[in-house]
Each structure stands twice: as structure tokens, then as C-alpha cells.
Structure 1
Amino acid sequence: MGHIYLSRRLCILKRKIFPRIILGLFFIYIYCEYLIYYISQIQCVWPKLEKNHAKDVEPVYALVLADIHMLGSRNGHWLDKWRREWQMYRAFQTAMTLHRPELVFVLGDLFDEGKWCSQNEFNEYVERFHNLFATPEGTTLYTVVGNHDIGFHYKITPHLASRFENQLNAPPVNLVSIRGNHFVLINSMAMEGDGCSLCSRAIAEINRISDVLKCSSGSALCKGKAKVPKYSRPILMQHYPLYRESDSICTEPDAAPLPLRDNLFEERWDCLSKESTEYLIESLLPRVAFGAHTHHSCLVRHSFVPRPDHKIELVEYTVPSFSWRNRLDPKYYLLTVTPDEVKLAKCELPREWTIQVTALLLLLVLAAYIRCYSTTRRIFSHMSDKKV
């Protein structure tokens, strides 16, 4: 009889403990796969403007990310591919829910194997990209091509360039204007300056946009008649950084690590050429420039003096990678933009080791709770038996 009574007590205890284990594991999964993205990103808010603006000036809110590097069929294990894409999906959709940007800019290298894959593989790439980075109503997404999407300049074929342009709606140069704010999106690989058909097309469009902006600003150098409704210096968006010798001038905590930071850049490979950089700045007069490609952060203050009486100053931001394959701490930027001000906030996603350590700690807490609960139940059961 005693043996039967003890077995019955153990069965009752297991029936009470098992649901708690399942509930605890479910909470750990929800927290580490969903809630942790909200907790990390809710701390990042839209940057506030410093200047006093007229009441009728409505800022543009834009989210900028780069270097997604979605894996294809050649590189990486399928489990790694699934894991990274799930992380990016959760992080991006959380950002959309929390921030609701008006514009989203993706600065190149959407696809890790875009320059190698077949047309069928590319179609599958594009479908996955739109599923992972679906934007809500009221948010417009723009993509800028990167070298992994179509190849470096010497590897680009008309087929590689046209399929990305057509399926991602990303021409070599694109002017996006909204409430007096102008964003110029540029294919960095078309800035080679060798007169190829892709480069010639890009240069012709840059010259056209340059004239539109000059006419809009009232410049005496205006040649045509086309104008934008309200002029402001544009914001440059591309995959490559503007010309710089290296990342040694980058001092941000998430800049390239030493000694990599001191490695000299190769023009047209690690950054734009000096000639193309000067051409873009003199033609467009950008107030801010955004690039990517290095996977690390950098802030550069440029000052160009093309003529003794003419000085062009701008700030350039290099956007870190959005992928956990490239960084332990992926990031994206939030921009608050008006015709005379650009403010930026850098948003950090949870580190992968943070997620893993959090899961381990929660499992230990769950194990301790179950042990404490079962011990307490046995003590009370034993005391109850003695009273009887």
C-alpha cells in the first residue's frame, strides 16, 4: 500500500511540474526569439531636431540599413542561412512596428551570391528579400545595388545589371524627392569613369539631376528648365564610401578593429575613386552622404575647395552591416530630415551571445524553480502525511 501511495504522489507531482516546464520553455523561446528584439530597439527613438522650424515643416523619417548578405545555395550551411534570415526578419519587422518610417533605404549587398547565381536562383533571392523586408502601408523601400549583387565593375554584364535594376526597381541613378528633401541613389560600380555603357548612363543622369538642382537653387549655371518644388542640398546614398585613404580616421566604438583600421583602401574596390568622389560632390553639392561596404561604422567630415572662392562641406556616414554574419552587433540608422537639418540615431540590435547567454540564464532559473517547487511540494506532502 505504501508503495502505491508513493507512486500516486509522484504522478500527481509530475502532472503539476510538467506543465510548468512547458510554460517556462515557451516563455524562454518567446523572449529570446521575439521580445528581446523589442527590448533592444525600443530604446532607440527618432532623433530630435535642434533648429526651430516653422509649424508647416514636416520632417521626413527614414531608416537606413546595409550589407544584408542573404546567403544563396553556394556559401554557408542551410541552418546558418535559416538562422540569419530569421534574425534579420525579426529585427526588421520589429523596427517597422516600433518606428514606422516613411522611407527605408537598403545600401547594397542585399544578396551574398547575386553576382554568381542563375536567373532562377536570383528570382528566388528577390522573393525571399521581399518576404524578409516587407514594409507596412505608408513605408516605401528603396534599394541601392552593391558589388555582391551584380559584381565589381569589371565583372558586371548587361544581364547582371539589368535584372537587378528591373526586379528591384533600382536604376543606376535615382532621385527621390519628398517635401523639399532630395535623396540621390547611385550605383557605386557605375562610377568607374571608363566610359562604359553603364557608367555613361549614370553620368548622364547625374548631370541631369545636377542641372535640375542648380535651376531649383537659382544658380546662374542652370542650363535647363526642370526644377524640384523646393530646393535643398541633396543627401547622397550609395554602397561604396566616398574616397578616403583608410578607416584610420574612424574613431567610433563600432569602427573597424585595429589593425584592420589602418589598412589602406584601394580605389574602386574599397571606396570610390578620388576623381569620382570630387565629381559627385561638385555636381550634386550633397549636405550628407551615406555609404556602406566596409561592414563597419565611420563618421567623416569632408571639406572640398574646388576653387579658392568655393568651399563644399559635408558629413559622411558609413553604415555598419545589418547581418550577424558580418558583425557581432548589427546596426541600422534612423534619420530625421528637413530641408536644412539631418539628425541621426544609431540603433543597435541584440548581440547573438546576449541572446544565447539570456537563454542559458533563463533555463537555469527555470531549472532552479522546478527543483524548488518539487522540493517544496514533497515537504508539504510529507508534513500532511504526518498530521494524518
Structure 2
Amino acid sequence: MGLIYLSRRVCLLRRKIFPRIIFGLLFIYIYCEYLIYYVSQVQCVWPKLEKKHAKDVEPVYALVIADIHMLGSRNGHWLDKWRREWQMHRAFQTAMTLHRPELVFVLGDLFDEGKWCSQNEFNEYVERFHNLFATPEGTTMYTVVGNHDIGFHYMITPHLAKRFEDKLNAPPVSLVSVRGNHFVLINSMAMEGDGCTLCSRAVAEINRISDVLKCSSGSALCKGKAKVPKYSRPILMQHYPLYRESDSICTEPDAAPLPLRNNLFEERWDCLSKESTEYLIESLLPRVVFGAHTHHSCLVRHSFVPRPDHKIEFIEYTVPSFSWRNRLDPKYYLLTVTPGEVRVAKCELPQESTIQVTAVILLLILAAYVRWCWRRKSFRHMSDKKV
């Protein structure tokens, strides 16, 4: 009788409870690997313009990410590589689905080992990047080179610089203009100021863009004839932050932690040099600057006075890393841009600990539910048996 009773309980488990266990585990997997990214990001929306600008022009909607650091064959375990890339892929594709930006800017360090890898490895890198960060129709992506992509200035070779430029369509300096909004994309490592071929090419292009913008604004300093259809002060996109002594001026909750925040920056290594910063500001007169490189957030309000009668004011944002390898709480920015206004929203991705805790809680709920179902079915079976 005992064996018969046990056999009936096993059959009961297979017929009634086992499918519910499978369904519960499937739901937990889908929620923690897919839906949780929607739950976290649906709370982040495009920043709204001030009412006086809202109906004047059609804004440009842009998404900014930085410091992806896709692993290569040298660093990291294959499981860590797969896991991090899967997380970034799901988070990015969720952002594309929810926000549908017109522009996407990636501010450098796409590849963790770009400065070391062979040509075949680099080609595989680029293919993986395009697969992981595919953009929908109607969205254009622009990439800015970082030091991990081609190396710091001292180790850059013409081959390293050219292959990134060719494969990612990322020249040392470029101007992107959309409906009167102008974005200047800059290779930070080309701002060394030592007259190298890469630096000379970048400076020549910056001077050309500077003259185009001056002519477009009606400045008396205009030397050429080229203009953009509608002038507005440009937005700079680069990998390095502008010159600053340290992150001690950064007060955001996701700024560099103490005591790291007080570490002094080394010019041309942690940020642009003071000379290159002054050159960019005086040449381009930016209204907003976006950088990255530190993996932490920072907001700086600059008031640059090159002459007593001339003051250049603008805001600089340092974009945190988009990778869970670099920080526990990756972020990205949403920009609503018009010629007269730039509004910024910072979007948070779920922390890995949040995903893990959520999975544990759901598993416990599932276990409690299965136990309740087992006892309930067993009680009914015993009641029927007595009758």
C-alpha cells in the first residue's frame, strides 16, 4: 500500500505540480533576463523642453553611452565576457525599443583590448559590436574613439588609428549637423599638441569647423565662405573630460567614490591638457560638452574668460560607464536638443545585485507555492481516499 501511495504522489507531482514548476522557472528567467530592463528603463523618459521652446522647432533626440569595454581574448573569463555582453545587449536593445532615439553617440572605449588585438581579432570585435548594439531603422550611431580602442597617444600607430576610423567611420574630428544642432566629435588622443600626423590632421579639421561656425554666426573673424544652414553653438562629444584637477568638484550620487574622488588627474592621461581644453573652448565656443573615460558621473559648470571682455559659459557632463564590469549601476543619457536648449536626463540600469535578489525572492515564492500546492493536493487525495 505504501508503494502504491508513493506512486500516486509521484504521478500527482508529474501531472499537476511539475508543469507549474517549469512555468514558474521560465517566468523567473524571462523576468530577470528581459523584463527587468523594461521595468527599470520605462521610468526614464525624454527630458522636456521649456514651454517657450516647445513649439518653435522639432527637437533632436539623442542617446549617449560610454565605456562599453567589450572583452577580447586576453582579459576576463569567457563566462564573464558572455554575461556582461548579454547584459549590455539587453539593456541597449530595451533602450532602443522604449526611446527610439534619432542619434546614438558612443563616447569611446568600445573595445577593452583594441590597442593590442590583431587585425582578425579587431574585425571580430567590430562584428560583435554591431551585433550587440544594433540600432533600428531611423537611428544613426556615431562612435568616438577611446584610449582602449587605439591606445594612449604614445602607443598609437597609423595602423591602429586607421583601422578604427575605417571600420567605425570615425575620423579624428567630424561635424554632425541636424536641424540647426551641431555636434563636434573629437579624438581625445589627437589633442596632444605635439604636431604628430594625427594631431595635425585633427587641429586642421577643428580650425576648419571653427571657421564654418564663425561664418555661420556672422562673426567678423570669419575667413572662408562655408556655412551651416542655421547657426547654434556646438555640442562637443569626446572620450576624455576637459581639463580639471580632480573629481573632487563632482557631487553627484554616482560620482567617483571617496577617496578616489580626490586623486589628482594627470593631463593627457585622465583628462585633456589645460592647453588643449583652452584651444577647444576658444575655437568652438561649445554650449555643452560630453566626455567619459573616468567611468563615473560628473557635472561641471564652466565659466571660461579668455579675455576680460569675453566670457564663455557652458556645462560639461562626464558620462558614467555603460558596463557592469566598471560600475555596479551603469547609466546612459537621453538628450533633447534644439538650437536654443539642451535638456539632459540620466537613466539608470538595474544593479546586478538587484537582479540576483529578485531572482532569489521569486525562487522562494515559487518554492512556497509548490509546497502549498503539494500539501493541498495531498490533502484532497487523502480525503478522497477516506471517502
Same fold (TM > 0.5): yes
The SS at the match of 1:61 is strand
Q: CA deviation at 1:295?
A: 0.2
Tell me, in whole angstroms, the C-alpha distance in 2 between the residues paired with 1:236 and 1:77: 36
- Return closer, same or farther for 1:357/1:5 CA change in 2, 3 Å cut-off: closer
Q: CA deviation at 1:17?
A: 1.1
The SS at the match of 1:5 is helix
Q: CA deviation at 1:319?
A: 0.1
Moved more, 4-13 or 247-256: 4-13
- Return closer, same or farther for 1:167/1:382 CA change in 2, 3 Å cut-off: closer
Q: CA deviation at 1:46?
A: 0.2
Q: CA deviation at 1:22?
A: 0.5
The SS at the match of 1:384 is helix
Q: CA deviation at 1:40?
A: 0.2
The SS at the match of 1:335 is strand
Q: CA deviation at 1:2?
A: 6.1
> Residue by residue, what CA displacement relative to the aligned partner does 1:292-350 show, whole Å, maximum 9, x if unpaired?
00000000011111111100011000000000000000000000000010000000000
Q: CA deviation at 1:387?
A: 4.9
1:252 match:
252
Tell me, in whole angstroms, the C-alpha distance in 2 between the residues paired with 1:168 and 1:385: 71
Tell me, in whole angstroms, the C-alpha distance in 2 between the residues paired with 1:179 and 1:75: 43
> Residue by residue, what CA displacement relative to the aligned partner does 1:92-120 show, whole Å, maximum 9, x if unpaired?
00000000000000000000000000000
Moved more, 285-294 or 8-17: 8-17
- Return closer, same or farther for 1:2/1:244 CA change in 2, 3 Å cut-off: closer
Q: CA deviation at 1:55?
A: 3.4
The SS at the match of 1:175 is strand
- Return closer, same or farther for 1:54/1:327 CA change in 2, 3 Å cut-off: closer
Tell me, in whole angstroms, the C-alpha distance in 1 between the residues paired with 2:17 and 2:360: 20
- Return closer, same or farther for 1:14/1:54 CA change in 2, 3 Å cut-off: closer
1:54 match:
54
Tell me, in whole angstroms, the C-alpha distance in 1 between the residues paired with 2:188 and 2:13: 66
Whether the aligned pair in 1 keeps the contact of 2:176 and 2:183 (CA below 8 Å) is yes
Moved more, 299-308 or 63-72: 299-308
- Return closer, same or farther for 1:264/1:6 CA change in 2, 3 Å cut-off: closer
The SS at the match of 1:7 is helix
1:384 match:
383
Whether the aligned pair in 1 keeps the contact of 2:49 and 2:343 (CA below 8 Å) is yes
Equivalence map 1:25-44=2 (5 Å):
25-44=25-44
The SS at the match of 1:53 is helix
Q: CA deviation at 1:379?
A: 4.8
- Return closer, same or farther for 1:54/1:133 CA change in 2, 3 Å cut-off: closer
> Residue by residue, what CA displacement relative to the aligned partner does 1:141-197 show, whole Å, maximum 9, x if unpaired?
000000000000010000000000000000000100000000000000000000000
- Return closer, same or farther for 1:345/1:54 CA change in 2, 3 Å cut-off: closer
Whether the aligned pair in 1 keeps the contact of 2:150 and 2:160 (CA below 8 Å) is yes
Q: CA RMSD in A?
A: 1.2
> Residue by residue, what CA displacement relative to the aligned partner does 1:218-241 show, whole Å, maximum 9, x if unpaired?
000000000000000000000000
Q: CA deviation at 1:51?
A: 4.4
Tell me, in whole angstroms, the C-alpha distance in 2 between the residues paired with 1:378 and 1:338: 64
Tell me, in whole angstroms, the C-alpha distance in 1 between the residues paired with 2:378 and 2:4: 19
- Return closer, same or farther for 1:248/1:8 CA change in 2, 3 Å cut-off: same
Tell me, in whole angstroms, the C-alpha distance in 1 between the residues paired with 2:2 and 2:82: 53
- Return closer, same or farther for 1:54/1:355 CA change in 2, 3 Å cut-off: closer
> Residue by residue, what CA displacement relative to the aligned partner does 1:13-32 show, whole Å, maximum 9, x if unpaired?
33211111100000000000
Whether the aligned pair in 1 keeps the contact of 2:184 and 2:237 (CA below 8 Å) is yes
Identity %: 91
Moved more, 133-142 or 301-310: 301-310
The SS at the match of 1:332 is strand
2:291 match:
291
Tell me, in whole angstroms, the C-alpha distance in 2 between the residues paired with 1:134 and 1:54: 30
The SS at the match of 1:52 is helix
Q: CA deviation at 1:249?
A: 0.1
Q: CA deviation at 1:248?
A: 0.2
Q: CA deviation at 1:9?
A: 4.0
For the pair 1:348 / 2:314, whether they are aligned, the reply is no
Q: CA deviation at 1:270?
A: 0.3
Tell me, in whole angstroms, the C-alpha distance in 1 between the residues paired with 2:2 and 2:216: 95
Length, aligned pairs only = 383
Q: CA deviation at 1:381?
A: 2.5
Moved more, 18-27 or 2-11: 2-11
Whether the aligned pair in 1 keeps the contact of 2:9 and 2:378 (CA below 8 Å) is no
Q: CA deviation at 1:11?
A: 1.4
Q: CA deviation at 1:50?
A: 1.4
Whether the aligned pair in 1 keeps the contact of 2:93 and 2:133 (CA below 8 Å) is yes
Tell me, in whole angstroms, the C-alpha distance in 2 between the residues paired with 1:28 and 1:7: 30
The SS at the match of 2:62 is strand
> Residue by residue, what CA displacement relative to the aligned partner does 1:200-256 show, whole Å, maximum 9, x if unpaired?
000000000000000000000000000000000000000000000000000000000
- Return closer, same or farther for 1:2/1:326 CA change in 2, 3 Å cut-off: closer
Tell me, in whole angstroms, the C-alpha distance in 2 between the residues paired with 1:236 and 1:316: 9
Ranges in structure 2 where 5+ consecutive residues have no aligned partner: none
- Return closer, same or farther for 1:313/1:72 CA change in 2, 3 Å cut-off: same
Tell me, in whole angstroms, the C-alpha distance in 2 between the residues paired with 1:263 and 1:121: 35
- Return closer, same or farther for 1:380/1:150 CA change in 2, 3 Å cut-off: same
The SS at the match of 2:94 is helix
Q: CA deviation at 1:129?
A: 0.3
